[in-house]
Structure 1
Amino acid sequence: MRAHFDALPPAVALIIAALLVTGAALTFIGALGLLRLPTFYERMHAPTLGTSGGTAGIVIASMLLFSVMQGRLAVHEILIGTFVTVTTPVTLMLLGRAALYRDRSEGRVGPSEADEPEK
Structure 2
Amino acid sequence: MATATEEQATTSEEQPLSEKMQSSLSLEGVEPELAERFRLCRSVAEECVTDADLLALLRAKPNPVAYDGFEPSGRMHIAQGVLKAINVNKLTQAGCTFKFWVADWFAQLNNKMGGDLKKIQAVGH
Q: TM-score by structure 1 length?
A: 0.30
Looking at secondary structure, tell me which structure has more strand per residue. Answer: 2
Looking at secondary structure, tell me which structure has more helix per residue. Answer: 1
Q: TM-score by structure 2 length?
A: 0.29
